[in-house]
Protein backbone atom coordinates (compact mmCIF):
# COMPACT_ATOMS: atom_id res chain seq x y z
CA UNK A 1 0.00 0.00 0.00
CA UNK A 2 1.20 3.55 -0.80
CA UNK A 3 0.82 6.29 1.80
CA UNK A 4 -0.33 9.74 0.65
CA UNK A 5 3.29 10.99 0.68
CA UNK A 6 4.20 8.27 -1.84
CA UNK A 7 6.20 6.11 0.58
CA UNK A 8 5.40 2.45 0.98
CA UNK A 9 3.37 1.44 4.04
CA UNK A 10 4.41 -1.71 5.86
CA UNK A 11 1.51 -3.94 6.84
CA UNK A 12 1.94 -6.94 9.12
CA UNK A 13 0.96 -9.54 6.50
CA UNK A 14 0.49 -10.10 2.79
CA UNK A 15 -3.19 -10.94 3.12
CA UNK A 16 -4.38 -7.95 5.12
CA UNK A 17 -3.77 -4.29 4.32
CA UNK A 18 -4.91 -3.00 7.73
CA UNK A 19 -2.25 -1.51 9.93
CA UNK A 20 -1.79 -2.90 13.41
CA UNK A 21 -4.21 -0.96 15.58
CA UNK A 22 -6.85 -0.74 12.86
CA UNK A 23 -8.31 -4.09 13.91
CA UNK A 24 -10.18 -4.47 17.20
CA UNK A 25 -9.33 -7.06 19.87
CA UNK A 26 -12.64 -8.80 19.11
CA UNK A 27 -13.46 -9.90 15.56
CA UNK A 28 -16.59 -11.46 14.10
CA UNK A 29 -15.85 -13.74 11.14
CA UNK A 30 -18.55 -14.75 8.67
CA UNK A 31 -17.39 -16.87 5.74
CA UNK A 32 -18.78 -14.57 3.06
CA UNK A 33 -17.23 -11.13 2.40
CA UNK A 34 -20.68 -9.70 1.51
CA UNK A 35 -21.88 -10.84 4.92
CA UNK A 36 -18.94 -9.02 6.52
CA UNK A 37 -20.01 -5.84 4.74
CA UNK A 38 -23.65 -6.36 5.75
CA UNK A 39 -22.71 -6.82 9.42
CA UNK A 40 -20.51 -3.71 9.35
CA UNK A 41 -23.21 -1.59 7.73
CA UNK A 42 -26.12 -2.80 9.83
CA UNK A 43 -24.74 -3.70 13.27
CA UNK A 44 -21.66 -1.51 13.84
CA UNK A 45 -21.46 2.23 14.34
CA UNK A 46 -18.90 4.24 12.33
CA UNK A 47 -17.66 1.18 10.43
CA UNK A 48 -14.60 1.78 8.22
CA UNK A 49 -13.20 -0.58 5.60
CA UNK A 50 -9.66 -1.46 6.73
CA UNK A 51 -8.77 -4.23 4.29
CA UNK A 52 -10.04 -5.69 1.03
CA UNK A 53 -7.13 -7.83 -0.14
CA UNK A 54 -8.52 -10.59 -2.43
CA UNK A 55 -12.04 -9.27 -1.76
CA UNK A 56 -11.85 -10.41 1.86
CA UNK A 57 -13.41 -7.34 3.47
CA UNK A 58 -12.45 -6.26 6.97
CA UNK A 59 -14.26 -3.42 8.74
CA UNK A 60 -13.73 -1.83 12.13
CA UNK A 61 -16.42 0.08 13.97
CA UNK A 62 -18.06 -0.06 17.37
CA UNK A 63 -20.95 -1.66 19.18
CA UNK A 64 -22.25 -0.47 22.58
CA UNK A 65 -19.12 1.65 22.93
CA UNK A 66 -16.67 -1.20 22.24
CA UNK A 67 -14.39 -1.35 19.24
CA UNK A 68 -15.34 -4.37 17.11
CA UNK A 69 -14.05 -5.65 13.76
CA UNK A 70 -15.68 -7.93 11.26
CA UNK A 71 -13.64 -9.78 8.67
CA UNK A 72 -14.57 -12.56 6.26
CA UNK A 73 -12.81 -15.91 6.66
CA UNK A 74 -13.48 -17.29 3.19
CA UNK A 75 -14.39 -20.97 2.94
CA UNK A 76 -12.60 -23.96 4.42
CA UNK A 77 -9.75 -24.63 6.80
CA UNK A 78 -7.06 -23.22 4.51
CA UNK A 79 -8.69 -19.82 4.19
CA UNK A 80 -9.88 -19.55 7.79
CA UNK A 81 -6.44 -20.83 8.80
CA UNK A 82 -4.62 -17.92 7.15
CA UNK A 83 -6.87 -15.06 8.23
CA UNK A 84 -7.48 -16.13 11.82
CA UNK A 85 -3.81 -16.98 12.41
CA UNK A 86 -2.74 -13.56 11.18
CA UNK A 87 -5.35 -11.78 13.31
CA UNK A 88 -4.24 -13.61 16.46
CA UNK A 89 -0.52 -13.59 15.79
CA UNK A 90 0.16 -10.24 14.09
CA UNK A 91 -2.80 -7.98 14.89
CA UNK A 92 -3.15 -8.53 18.63
CA UNK A 93 -6.65 -9.99 18.27
CA UNK A 94 -7.81 -11.74 21.46
CA UNK A 95 -11.20 -13.18 20.51
CA UNK A 96 -12.67 -14.38 17.24
CA UNK A 97 -16.31 -15.41 16.89
CA UNK A 98 -17.14 -17.30 13.72
CA UNK A 99 -20.69 -16.51 12.63
CA UNK A 100 -21.59 -18.98 9.94
CA UNK A 101 -24.05 -21.45 8.61
CA UNK A 102 -23.96 -25.21 8.98
CA UNK A 103 -25.80 -28.25 7.75
CA UNK A 104 -27.77 -29.99 10.50
CA UNK A 105 -26.81 -33.62 11.19
CA UNK A 106 -28.62 -34.21 14.48
CA UNK A 107 -32.30 -35.26 14.41
CA UNK A 108 -32.84 -32.86 17.32
CA UNK A 109 -32.08 -29.80 15.18
CA UNK A 110 -34.57 -27.73 13.20
CA UNK A 111 -33.88 -25.19 10.47
CA UNK A 112 -32.77 -21.83 11.94
CA UNK A 113 -31.55 -23.34 15.23
CA UNK A 114 -28.19 -22.09 16.39
CA UNK A 115 -25.36 -24.50 17.20
CA UNK A 116 -22.60 -23.41 19.57
CA UNK A 117 -19.49 -25.41 18.68
CA UNK A 118 -18.00 -26.55 21.99
CA UNK A 119 -15.80 -28.99 20.05
CA UNK A 120 -14.86 -29.41 16.41
CA UNK A 121 -13.89 -32.74 14.89
CA UNK A 122 -12.24 -32.70 11.51
CA UNK A 123 -10.95 -34.77 8.61
CA UNK A 124 -8.55 -31.99 7.60
CA UNK A 125 -4.82 -32.35 8.09
CA UNK A 126 -4.59 -28.93 9.73
CA UNK A 127 -3.21 -30.32 13.00
CA UNK A 128 -0.37 -32.17 11.28
CA UNK A 129 1.72 -28.98 11.35
CA UNK A 130 2.05 -29.33 15.14
CA UNK A 131 3.64 -32.79 15.04
CA UNK A 132 1.72 -33.89 18.12
CA UNK A 133 2.10 -37.47 19.37
CA UNK A 134 -1.67 -38.00 19.41
CA UNK A 135 -4.96 -36.45 18.33
CA UNK A 136 -5.75 -32.84 19.15
CA UNK A 137 -9.31 -32.01 20.28
CA UNK A 138 -10.10 -28.52 18.91
CA UNK A 139 -12.39 -26.80 21.42
CA UNK A 140 -14.39 -23.57 21.56
CA UNK A 141 -13.68 -21.26 24.48
CA UNK A 142 -15.82 -22.23 27.47
CA UNK A 143 -16.37 -18.67 28.73
CA UNK A 144 -17.60 -17.48 25.34
CA UNK A 145 -19.75 -20.59 24.88
CA UNK A 146 -21.35 -20.12 28.28
CA UNK A 147 -22.23 -16.51 27.49
CA UNK A 148 -23.64 -17.53 24.11
CA UNK A 149 -25.77 -20.27 25.66
CA UNK A 150 -27.06 -17.95 28.41
CA UNK A 151 -28.01 -15.41 25.74
CA UNK A 152 -29.95 -18.03 23.77
CA UNK A 153 -31.81 -19.17 26.87
CA UNK A 154 -32.70 -15.60 27.84
CA UNK A 155 -34.01 -14.84 24.33
CA UNK A 156 -35.77 -18.18 23.93
CA UNK A 157 -33.77 -19.11 20.82
CA UNK A 158 -33.55 -22.70 19.56
CA UNK A 159 -29.96 -23.47 20.44
CA UNK A 160 -27.75 -26.47 21.13
CA UNK A 161 -24.15 -26.66 22.27
CA UNK A 162 -21.96 -29.55 21.19
CA UNK A 163 -19.66 -31.01 18.56
CA UNK A 164 -19.35 -29.69 15.04
CA UNK A 165 -17.86 -31.70 12.21
CA UNK A 166 -15.55 -29.32 10.36
CA UNK A 167 -15.00 -30.98 7.01
CA UNK A 168 -12.43 -30.64 4.26
CA UNK A 169 -15.17 -30.98 1.66
CA UNK A 170 -18.61 -29.54 1.10
CA UNK A 171 -19.87 -32.49 -0.99
CA UNK A 172 -19.68 -35.76 0.95
CA UNK A 173 -21.13 -39.17 0.36
CA UNK A 174 -24.08 -39.30 2.76
CA UNK A 175 -22.71 -42.35 4.59
CA UNK A 176 -19.66 -40.35 5.73
CA UNK A 177 -21.83 -37.68 7.32
CA UNK A 178 -24.01 -40.39 8.87
CA UNK A 179 -20.91 -41.73 10.63
CA UNK A 180 -20.12 -38.30 12.07
CA UNK A 181 -23.75 -37.90 13.15
CA UNK A 182 -23.53 -41.34 14.83
CA UNK A 183 -20.54 -40.07 16.83
CA UNK A 184 -22.51 -37.08 18.04
CA UNK A 185 -21.64 -34.33 15.59
CA UNK A 186 -24.56 -31.90 15.61
CA UNK A 187 -23.79 -30.09 12.36
CA UNK A 188 -21.30 -29.86 9.50
CA UNK A 189 -19.40 -26.77 8.39
CA UNK A 190 -15.86 -26.13 7.17
CA UNK A 191 -14.03 -23.53 9.29
CA UNK A 192 -14.33 -24.06 13.05
CA UNK A 193 -11.52 -26.64 13.46
CA UNK A 194 -8.82 -24.44 11.90
CA UNK A 195 -10.07 -21.48 13.93
CA UNK A 196 -9.95 -23.44 17.19
CA UNK A 197 -6.49 -24.81 16.41
CA UNK A 198 -5.14 -21.32 15.73
CA UNK A 199 -6.65 -20.13 19.01
CA UNK A 200 -4.96 -23.04 20.81
CA UNK A 201 -1.62 -22.39 19.12
CA UNK A 202 -1.65 -18.66 19.93
CA UNK A 203 -3.32 -18.96 23.39
CA UNK A 204 -6.28 -16.85 22.31
CA UNK A 205 -10.07 -17.37 22.45
CA UNK A 206 -12.44 -18.49 19.73
CA UNK A 207 -15.99 -19.72 19.32
CA UNK A 208 -18.03 -20.80 16.29
CA UNK A 209 -21.77 -20.19 16.34
CA UNK A 210 -23.67 -21.43 13.32
CA UNK A 211 -27.25 -21.19 12.17
CA UNK A 212 -28.68 -24.31 10.61
CA UNK A 213 -29.36 -23.37 6.99
CA UNK A 214 -30.18 -26.89 5.81
CA UNK A 215 -30.86 -30.35 7.20
CA UNK A 216 -28.42 -32.70 5.52
CA UNK A 217 -30.38 -35.96 5.63
CA UNK A 218 -33.86 -34.63 4.80
CA UNK A 219 -32.65 -32.03 2.30
CA UNK A 220 -34.81 -29.27 3.88
CA UNK A 221 -33.43 -25.79 3.37
CA UNK A 222 -34.12 -22.33 4.79
CA UNK A 223 -35.84 -19.81 2.56
CA UNK A 224 -33.96 -16.59 1.90
CA UNK A 225 -36.17 -14.79 4.42
CA UNK A 226 -35.64 -17.46 7.11
CA UNK A 227 -31.90 -17.26 6.55
CA UNK A 228 -31.97 -13.52 7.14
CA UNK A 229 -33.94 -13.78 10.39
CA UNK A 230 -31.77 -16.50 11.87
CA UNK A 231 -28.68 -14.58 10.77
CA UNK A 232 -29.96 -11.58 12.75
CA UNK A 233 -30.35 -13.68 15.95
CA UNK A 234 -26.85 -15.09 15.52
CA UNK A 235 -25.16 -11.70 14.97
CA UNK A 236 -26.93 -10.24 18.00
CA UNK A 237 -25.80 -13.26 20.02
CA UNK A 238 -22.20 -12.85 18.85
CA UNK A 239 -22.16 -9.14 19.64
CA UNK A 240 -23.72 -9.73 23.06
CA UNK A 241 -20.89 -12.06 24.11
CA UNK A 242 -18.07 -9.67 23.17
CA UNK A 243 -19.53 -6.28 24.15
Q: Of 100, 73, 76, 69, whose CA–CA distance to 84 is shortest?
A: 73
Kindly calculate the radius of gyration of the chain based on its CA atoms and give it in whole angstroms.
Answer: 17
Q: Which of 73, 101, 118, 120 binds ligand HPA (CB under 6 A)?
A: 101
Stretch binding ligand HPA (CB under 6 A), from 51-59, 87-95, 101-109, 146-154:
101-109
142 sits near ligand HPA (criterion: CB under 6 A): no
204 — phi, psi (to 5°)?
-115, -175
Rounded CA separation 83/70 (Å)? 12
Query: Strands (DSSP E) along 44-174, which ranges?
Result: 45-51, 58-63, 66-71, 95-104, 114-122, 159-166
Work out how close the CB of 106 gets to ligand HPA at its nearest, in angstroms, rounded to a whole number. Answer: 13
- Least separation in angstroms between CB 216 and ligand HPA: 6
- Taking contact as CB under 6 A, which single stretch among the options 82-90, 148-156, 195-203, 211-219 is the one that binds ligand HPA? 211-219
**Angle at the Cα of 166 (from 164 to 167), degrees rounded to 5?**
140
CB of 104 to ligand HPA, least distance (A): 8
Question: Which is closer to ligand HPA, CB of 130 or CB of 170?
Answer: 170
By annotation, the residues acting in catalysis are: 214
* Residue-level length of the chain: 243
Nearer to ligand HPA among residue 52 and residue 214 (C-beta): 214
228-240: string of b/e by CB count within 10 Å (b at 16+)? Answer: eebbebbbebbbb
How far apart are CB 236 and ligand HPA at their closest, in Å?
A: 20
Compute how many residues bind ligand HPA; rule: CB under 6 A. 10
- The verdict on 113 binding ligand HPA (CB under 6 A) reads no
- Quick one: which of 30, 61, 103, 138 contacts ligand HPA (CB under 6 A)? 103
Find the DSSP H helices in the chain: 33-43, 76-90, 142-155, 174-182, 192-202, 224-242
Q: Is 102 in the site for ligand HPA (CB under 6 A)?
A: yes
Residues 157-196, mask of contacts with ligand HPA (x by CB under 6 A): -------------x-----------------xxx------
- State yes or no: residue 207 binds ligand HPA (CB under 6 A): no
Among positions 70-99, residues that touch ligand HPA (CB under 6 A) are none
Between the CA atoms of 61, 65, 67 and 72, what dihedral angle is there, to the nearest 10 degrees?
A: -50
CA–CA separation, 196 and 170 (whole Å): 19
Q: Which of residues 60 and 101 has its CB atom nearest to ligand HPA in the complex?
A: 101
Q: Which residues bind ligand HPA (CB under 6 A)?
A: 101-103, 170, 188-190, 213-214, 216
Amino acid sequence: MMKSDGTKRETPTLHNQAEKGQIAECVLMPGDPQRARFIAENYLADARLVSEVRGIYAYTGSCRGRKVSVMASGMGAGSMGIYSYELFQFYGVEKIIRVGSAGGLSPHLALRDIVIGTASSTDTGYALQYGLPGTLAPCGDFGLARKAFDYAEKKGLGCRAGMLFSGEAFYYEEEILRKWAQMGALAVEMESAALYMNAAKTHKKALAICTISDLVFSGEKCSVEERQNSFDDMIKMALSIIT
